[in-house]
Amino acid sequence: QVQLVESGGGLVQAGGSLRLSCAASGSIFSRSYMGWYRLAPGKQRDLVADITSRGTTNYADSVKGRFTISRNNAKNTVYLQMNSLKPEDTAVYYCNTNPPIWDYWGQGTQVTVSS
């Protein structure tokens, strides 16, 4: 059974940085695309970045150039380095496969960016 646990969120000022981590139980990293998703108040949960099993990355236009997704398959962990944060980045951030699997959604980690 797969469990995904996000951590690293917090409250930062605009322009600041955070590094999110997603630790997995089980083993899905060697063969799965992994993504970071976010859910902002009043918004639909959307994909902000993903990474293939071999390390190829993709980013939403809104975060391109500011966020970096990476993965360590040996540790079953995926990361999201977030720089130059903006208030509009405020959301609960989740990791999951891409496409996401419903039963894999965890609690997420809150990121709040103040202006």
* Cα separation, 84 vs 8, whole angstroms: 16
* Cα separation, 3 vs 72, whole angstroms: 16
Q: What is the model's pLDDT at position 51?
A: 96
Q: What is the model's pLDDT at position 27?
A: 66
Tens digit of pLDDT per residue, the chain (115 long)?
678 999 999 999 999 999 999 998 766 776 789 999 999 999 999 999 999 988 999 999 999 999 999 999 889 899 999 999 999 999 999 999 999 999 889 999 999 999 9
- Cross-strand bridge partners of residue 77: 23, 72
Length of the chain: 115
For residue 103, which phi and psi values (nearest 5 degrees)?
-70, -10
Cis previous bond, 87, omega within 30? no
